[in-house]
Amino acid sequence: MGQIKIKSARFDEPEVMELVAENMRDLSERYGGSGDDTPLAAAHFLPPDGDFLVAVRAADDRLLASAGWRRHGGDAELKRMFTRVEARGQGLARRMLAAVEESARAAGCERVILETGDKQPEAIALYESAGYQRIEDFGYYKGHPGVLSYAKKL
Q: What is the arithmetic mean of pLDDT over 124-136?
A: 98
pLDDT, position 2: 74
**From the CB of residue 119, how many other CB atoms can be counted at a distance below 10 Å?**
13
52: amino acid identity, one letter = F
140: amino acid identity, one letter = Y
Backbone dihedral angles phi then psi of residue 17, each to the nearest 5 degrees: -60, -35
pLDDT, position 5: 97
Number of domains in the chain: 1
Tell me the CATH number at 107.
3.40.630.30
> Per residue in 77-110, pLDDT tens?
999 999 999 999 999 999 999 999 999 999 999 9
pLDDT, position 34: 86
Contacts 24+ apart (CB under 8 A), 46-52: 47/107, 48/107, 48/108, 49/107, 50/76, 51/8, 51/100, 51/103, 51/104, 51/107, 52/8, 52/9, 52/10, 52/11, 52/16, 52/80
pLDDT, position 1: 58
Q: In whole numbers, what is the pLDDT of the chain averaged over residues?
A: 96
Q: What is the arithmetic mean of pLDDT over 136-148?
A: 91
Expressed as residue numbers, the domain containing 109 is: 4-153
Return d(Cα 81, Cα 93) in angstroms, integer.
8
Minimal CA–CA distance to 112: which of 140, 49, 53, 70? 70
> Per residue in 5-59, pLDDT tens?
999 999 999 999 999 999 999 999 999 998 888 999 999 999 999 999 999 999 9
Share of the chain above pLDDT 90, in %: 91
